[in-house]
Amino acid sequence: MTLHDPNCLFCKIIAGQIPSKKVYEDEELFAFHDIHPWAPVHFLMVPKQHIPSMAQLQPEHAGLVGRMMVLAPQLAAQEGCRPYPQGGFRVMVNTGDDGGQEVHHLHLHVIGGPRPWLKG
């Protein structure tokens, strides 16, 4: 795995080469709104390191993925999801072609807001 793939759409977004509506950024993670949202709240959270998919995760990535999962509810609330248990959100990771992954850079979809949603 590389730190950056010059042909990767998400690496270009992280680098600022393609504009995005940023939700969050730190030294390891970048979150931005989905350009085709399925719900009132729909953003993507990606590691800055280019990891092609969940299938390529290694034990050394456990802390990074853990941080993503802990950060997801904080950002969901920040972006307008109602609190648990009446509110909530969905976290989804598509992996590989059969799993519906369109961009081969690990990313979490965080989706929420009042239903019905466009998908799901």
Q: What are the catalytic residues? A: 107
Q: Residue type at 113?
A: G
d(CA 72, CA 7): 27
What is the CA angle 42-43-48, rounded to 5?
165
In 10 A of CB 20, how many CB atoms?
A: 18
- Asked if residue 17 lies in contact with residue 30, where contact means CB atoms within 8 angstroms, the answer is no
